[in-house]
Amino acid sequence: MTIENQTNYLQLMFCPFGYLDLECCVNIANEINKNNDWIFEQIEIFSKECEIKLENIDPVGTCLNAILQIAREEIYKLLNIDLDDKNFYANVYSNYLDSSFGIENGGKKKILAKLKKAKISIKNLNLATQYFLDNIE
C-alpha cells in the first residue's frame, strides 16, 4: 500500500463520511449562516445523545434534524403550532444526500397561512426556519 493510500485510509478512519455528504452539510450550514463548527457540534451531540458511533451517523440528516428543532421552537413560539402534533408531524427522512424534511396534512400551507394572518414575513424568521419552510416536501 502506498503512502497516499495509507494516508487516505487513515483519513477515512477519522472521518467516515463521504465528501459529497460533507459538502451537502457545508452548503446547508452556509444557507443558515452556520459554519463547520456547528456541523461538527450537531453530529457530536447526536452521537453522544443517541450513543451511536460516528461511522453510523447520517451527517446530512443530523444537520436537517438540528434545523427542524430550531424551526419547531420558533414556530411554536410565534404561532403556537406544535410540529410534533399529529396534524402536522414534521420530520426528517434521513438518507444521506437524499435526506429531506416531511410534514403531514398540508402542514406547510397551514403554517404559511398562520404567518400571513399574524403578519409575520418569512424573511423575518430565523434562517433555519426559513430553510425548513423552503425545503419541506
Note the pLDDT tens digit of each residue in 93-132.
Answer: 999 999 999 999 899 999 999 999 999 999 999 999 999 9
Q: How confident is the model at residue 6 (pLDDT cuts 50, 70, 90)?
A: confident
In this prediction, residue 23 carries a pLDDT of: 92
Q: Determine the pLDDT at residue 1.
A: 74
Looking at residue 33, what DSSP letter applies? Answer: T
Average pLDDT rounded to a whole number, residues 1-7: 82
Read off φ and ψ for residue 126, nearest 5 degrees: -55, 145
* Contact in structure between 118 and 79 (CB atoms under 8 Å): yes
> Following DSSP, what letter does each residue of 66-131 receive, concatenated?
HHHHHHHHHHHHHH---TTSTTT--EEE--GGG-EEE-STTHHHHHHHHHHHTT--GGGS-HHHHH
What whole-number distance in Å separates Cα of residue 88 and Cα of residue 102? 9
> Rounded to an integer, what distance in angstroms lies between the CA atom of residue 60 and that of residue 62?
5
The count of other CB atoms within 10 Å of the CB of residue 83 is: 21
Q: How confident is the model at residue 17 (pLDDT cuts 50, 70, 90)?
A: confident
Provide the pLDDT for residue 125.
Answer: 98
Return the pLDDT at 9: 77
Provide the Cα torsion 134, 105, 88, 25; round to 10°. -30
